[in-house]
Amino acid sequence: MEKYNVTRAMTRDGSARILVINSRDIVNRAIEYHHTEPTATAALGRILTAASLMGTMLKEKEDSLTLRFKGDGPLGSAVAVSDYKGNVRGYIMHPEVDLPLKPNGKLDVGGGIGHGTLSVVRDDGTGEAHVGSTAIVSGEIAEDICAYFAKSEQIPTVCSLGVLVDKDKTCKAAGGILIQLLPFADEETVDKIEKNVPLLSNISLLFDAGMTNEAIIDRAMAGIEYDIFDDFTAEYRCSCSRERILGAISSFSEKELDETFGDLPEIEVCCHFCDKKYYFSRKEVEEHKKAREEKKNG
């Protein structure tokens, strides 16, 4: 695999931008943290891949994007959070779920997700958040992402996502491509892109065959001139820390602390994103709470 795993490009006439990621390592890290079964791996892997691609469209270093699928299927809700460089983390409510394969031999991600709502939250780091949501169209993730951009942001979008799970339940290949038309896109360029879309339908197999990001862009942009403007590496990255969690618990009221601790000498807090466990005593929380209040009051 290349030293980088994300590539961003634009058609030379300014009609479209193209984002590609090889997300195999990201998905394998998610499997390691969440012990997902194949159907859950495919669902969470596609959502992480989509969130990473969408995150690379954020403008500022402090910005973040949260992609949430809240469906009524057996997988339950799934969440992925990305920064502006596509570094992503996520979780799925029921990682143990594995459904029978579909008649075409593919993992039944749509059946696992079910019907419900897809929401996208963009946070600029100051507490200001832009929220958009649409109904889940198929639960297959890529189709839902296209529908979200069309309905919520009025941006014509092509999205292909894929996760190939190996016999040992690791991720053999994974990746995605996102193509968005820009204002005043040239009709001839748009027609060519539409003709090339079927070439991207099994993107995980393209990566499994050894295709590079640039080779996949060549395939998507066949007959269209384009320029790559950067390559970089995105990874599965959790931002949890003991200090951050202690700060959150210390904001609890005395009543909430009583309910949380009960008669326990300490509590265990497990990070949803990386499964790391932290332990806190009531005394430690009380001392941190007191110190913070003293600092606040001068």
Is there a single domain that holds both residue 88 and residue 211? Answer: yes
CATH of the domain at 283: 3.90.1280.10
Question: Closest Cα partner for 194 from 155, 150, 158, 160?
Answer: 158
Does residue 162 form part of some domain? Answer: yes
Is there a single domain that holds both residue 79 and residue 164? Answer: yes
Is there a single domain that holds both residue 133 and residue 218? Answer: yes
Is there a single domain that holds both residue 139 and residue 283? Answer: no
Of the ranges 29-38, 61-70, 124-133, 159-168, which one carries the lowest mean pLDDT score? 124-133
Does residue 189 form part of some domain? Answer: yes
Whether residue 71 contacts residue 128, with contact meaning beta carbons closer than 8 Å, is answered with no
Is there a single domain that holds both residue 53 and residue 182? Answer: yes
Mapping DSSP to helix (H, G, I), strand (E, B) and coil, where does residue 92 land?
Answer: strand
Is there a single domain that holds both residue 34 and residue 166? Answer: yes
Residue range 219-234: mean pLDDT, rounded: 97
Is there a single domain that holds both residue 160 and residue 43? Answer: yes
**pLDDT of amino acid 1:** 47
Domain count, the chain: 2
Per cent of the chain over pLDDT 90 is 91
Give the structural domain span for 107: 6-232
At 100-142, the pLDDT tens digits run 999 999 999 999 999 999 999 999 877 788 999 999 999 999 9
At 142-193, the pLDDT tens digits run 999 999 999 999 999 999 999 999 999 999 999 999 999 999 999 999 999 9
At 13-27, the pLDDT tens digits run 999 999 999 999 999
Is there a single domain that holds both residue 214 and residue 290? Answer: no
Whether residue 241 contacts residue 249, with contact meaning beta carbons closer than 8 Å, is answered with no
Task: Report the distance separating Cα 222 and Cα 44, nearest Å.
Answer: 30
Global pTM reads: 0.93
Final residue belonging to a domain, choices 207, 232, 257: 232
Confidence class of residue 255 from pLDDT cuts 50, 70 and 90?
Answer: very high
Residue 214 pLDDT more than 50? yes
Task: Report the distance separating Cα 43 and Cα 21, nearest Å.
Answer: 16
Whether residue 133 contacts residue 118, with contact meaning beta carbons closer than 8 Å, is answered with yes
Does residue 237 form part of some domain? Answer: no
